[in-house]
Structure 1
Amino acid sequence: MGPSRHLSGVLLAVLLAATACGTPEPAAAPAPADGRCVTAYDANTDYFPVKQTLRHATNVTLAYARNYQVVTVKQPAPGARAETYVLVRCGTPAPELTGDLAGAITVETPIRSLFSAATTHLPFVTDLGVLDRLKGVASAAFITSAQVRERVTAGAVTEYASGQEIDTEKVIGAKPDVLMTGGTEDKAYGPLRQAGVKVVANAEWLESTALGRAEWIKVMAALTGTEKQAQTVFDKVEADYNALAAKVKGVTPVTILPGQMYQGQWSVSNGGSYVGRLIKDAGGTYAWADLPGPGSTTLDLEAVLAKAKDAQVWLATAPEWKTLTDVEKADARYAKFAAYESGQVWSSNKALGPEGGNDFFERGVGHPELILADLVAILHPDLAPGHQFTFYQKLTK
């Protein structure tokens, strides 16, 4: 497969011209709810009566022709070239893959079977009402959704990388319509592409805002033909998120210590990352809030102590921490932080799956309004009386 390129202004103009003024609007042909294919193709019919627009996601673009959509993922994996996918309404002809579409991957939609490489996709298929189309997951061990785990146990969903290595024969034998990546390139994807498996990148984790990550539900909707449902779901997520952010606007920011050490290093999200934006939107700030870019900075514990020893609240992501004693056992130097001394240590480990998966990393991607609600309640409890926490819990003494 040759490298794909972004849609040029010329291509976008061509696509949009099909529905522009100057000719009568063609009659819309609504996609059947059961995903049936078109049986009598009409070149003048618009087969996408519900058109999605992206308001926050910046790592993906979406454009429409009458019978197909063009999705371009700008960075499918860190450092990777853009990939373009032509999503053709089944029962209609695919366009010629020339010009800006050269090297694109053609996928018939709505897809009927999906293999998912990341748990972050699972809330999308659940919210869109297409969980029955999920046929494969990389590993069930990290899944927290009871609905998905039940389907794995029943044999309706298969594991294709339970040992952290993709079983290519299992994937090829299952013939999924799409295998959706988790935003990284696996060595097995090359052989799978050669075997005809449609590998589609989902790189929401490279977005710089939480709403941008959540908006990738619209990519799932484009694949599954559930655009109307996606619009309803995301509009509510966005409205709830913005209402919470507006509630804390103008408050005095609370200083935060984010994260903890892992294998001797402390990774701190840059201010330009979605984590940095979440903290800001919750009425918080932290020592590294001015660092640009969506990535993270790796430090040692002494460097963190030097800059954030006096932070008022510690927001950790340690699944094993339940008490302050657990914190000090992990490293005695943690007791030097002011938040430890005052007992203001919180961890996003309230909703863990039976095998250790964390719903904070699963459902939280599609529902950042729930994370923001927890953060507002932690940092500004007077603005959230009676809040019921979803992901965070305060560590006990």
Structure 2
Amino acid sequence: MGIPRPLRGALFAALPAILLTTAACGGNGPAASPTAAASNAAEGRCVTSYDANKDYFPAKQTLKHATNFTLTYAKNYQVVTVKQPAPGAKPEKYVLVRCGTPAPELTGELAGAVTVETPIESLYSASTTHLPFITELGVLDRLTGVASAGFITSPQVLERVKSGAVTEYASGREVDTEKVIGAKPGVLMSGGTEDKTYGPLRQAGIKVVANAEWLESSALGRAEWIRLMAALTGTEAKANEVFGKIEADYTALAAKAKAAAPVTVLPGQMFQGEWSMPSGDSYVAGLIKDAGGTYAWADTSGAGSATMDLEAVLSKAKDAKVWLAIVNEWKTLKDVEKSDARYAKFDAFESGDVWSANKVMGPGGGNDYWERGVARPDLILGDLVAILHPELAPGHEFAFYQKMTK
């Protein structure tokens, strides 16, 4: 746990290529309830007769956990402000105008904003973390390109790549600007970093919209970026339904674990000679706490992580009862010890209580924890509660974690 996003950048996919002409409300994800489906259908159609007095957003979204973007409404458009689209970057504002209605003048508070006509019919995604939002909302048919398919774990998305419905636009880690410009996607969604090619793409008329969920300090805050995807695709009612259930399930699990005695946890592992330890205000720390756990650095400040050597970790966390790692290659305790013999000094190793979030791996080596896990913190928390307090989750079916065998 706690691997910083810069180390994961190469794992994320984006979207180019074949521009599909799709039904405005298409979907290959979970079936919506009759109410949500009807509302989404109403929201998804282009306006044919504009009425200045009509509210074109019958289903509205309210942010409760995400802090890195805001969402406000006018009658025929939404304004999204991403406070930090990339580390150190200035805020970006997007005016999402309902198709078939007039765009507002970009003056005053809207000066410099990017106008996007919604619902979009095609999306290029720069991160695999976007993919579960797309499938949960039932708009997989809007996905027309990915930067690299190699690290995708979703069978649904991989099937569309295989069929040619979704194309790679940065398979060599270099964005093919000509391919993107030729495809003219409704939006190219960034992964919360600024690529050198985005400037030329913007100049060519490509709408680059930042998705910086990874800068959120809570798991529910990261998952709530599904609302940005919903605002772009006209699936606000579905997002309210989907995120509402995720939030309720997460809250119920946290309440159940709160009464249990905290279990000491060792989060993370070495990477290139350094241990990235999550700080006490990070989303990882929040997950551990909500699962009824604690760790030696739980009282530190900051939402990021601190790097340290293994000996420093041993000095403070040798006696942690449970070790929670995320290493794709680890399957057994022998694998753990083989990667660094000093790992055997941890009490959790000696007792065999070592877990890694590598249960579901894609054919190219992608890890579903970094993909679906962003949208489903309730499933991550469910795994953690079952690991730390198995008496609270008898018969639990693990979504991401598995215990290292002998």
Change (3 A) 1:67 1:30: farther
2:64 counterpart (51, 55, 63): 55
Partner deviation per Cα, 1:324-357 (whole Å, 9 max, x = no partner):
0001110011111110010000000000011111
Which residue in the other structure is 1:118 paired with? 127
Are 1:389 and 2:368 an aligned pair? Answer: no
Change (3 A) 1:301 1:31: closer
Change (3 A) 1:371 1:31: closer
1:336 counterpart (342, 345, 370): 345
Change (3 A) 1:32 1:377: closer
Which residue in the other structure is 1:221 paired with? 230
- Greater relative contact order structure (CA < 8 Å, 6+ sep): 2
Query: Conserved in 2, the CA contact under 8 Å of 1:30 and 1:48?
Result: no
TM-score by length of 1: 0.91
Query: Conserved in 1, the CA contact under 8 Å of 2:264 and 2:320?
Result: yes
Match runs of 1:17-36 below 5 Å: 32-33=41-42, 35-36=44-45
Distance 1:355 1:33 in 2: 39
Partner deviation per Cα, 1:19-75 (whole Å, 9 max, x = no partner):
xxxxxxxxxx97745833111111111101111100110111000000000000000
Partner deviation per Cα, 1:295-351 (whole Å, 9 max, x = no partner):
110111111111111111000000000000001110011111110010000000000
Are 1:42 and 2:69 an aligned pair? Answer: no
Which residue in the other structure is 1:175 paired with? 184
Which residue in the other structure is 1:5 paired with? none
Distance 1:32 1:278 in 2: 36
Could you tell me how far 1:252 is from its partner in structure 2?
1.3
Query: Conserved in 2, the CA contact under 8 Å of 1:45 and 1:66?
Result: yes
Change (3 A) 1:106 1:354: same
Match runs of 1:338-357 below 5 Å: 338-357=347-366
Where 2:374 maps in the other structure, the secondary structure is helix
Gapped regions of structure 2 (runs ≥ 5): 1-37
1:189 counterpart (198, 201, 216): 198
Distance 2:57 2:167 in 1: 32
Partner deviation per Cα, 1:259-283 (whole Å, 9 max, x = no partner):
1001111101111011110000000
Which residue in the other structure is 1:235 paired with? 244
Which residue in the other structure is 1:370 paired with? 379
2:302 counterpart (293, 298, 305): 293
Are 1:379 and 2:383 an aligned pair? Answer: no
Distance 2:53 2:264 in 1: 58
Could you tell me how far 1:173 is from its partner in structure 2?
0.8
Query: Conserved in 2, the CA contact under 8 Å of 1:31 and 1:47?
Result: no
Change (3 A) 1:387 1:184: same
Distance 1:162 1:286 in 2: 39
Number of residue-to-residue matches in the alignment: 369
TM-score by length of 2: 0.89
Could you tell me how far 1:394 is from its partner in structure 2?
0.3
List, as ranges, runs of 4+ consecutive aligned residues in structure 1 with deviation greater than 4 Å. 29-34
Gapped regions of structure 1 (runs ≥ 5): 1-28
Query: Conserved in 2, the CA contact under 8 Å of 1:314 and 1:339?
Result: yes
Could you tell me how far 1:294 is from its partner in structure 2?
1.1
Are 1:311 and 2:320 an aligned pair? Answer: yes
Which residue in the other structure is 1:325 paired with? 334
Partner amino acid, structure 2, of 1:338: D
1:252 counterpart (249, 261, 266): 261
CA RMSD of aligned residues (A): 1.2
Which residue in the other structure is 2:162 paired with? 153
Partner deviation per Cα, 1:97-150 (whole Å, 9 max, x = no partner):
111111000000000000000111111111111100000111101100000000
Q: Work out which of the two has the higher radius of gyration on C-alpha atoms and give 1 or 2.
A: 1
Distance 1:232 1:182 in 2: 25
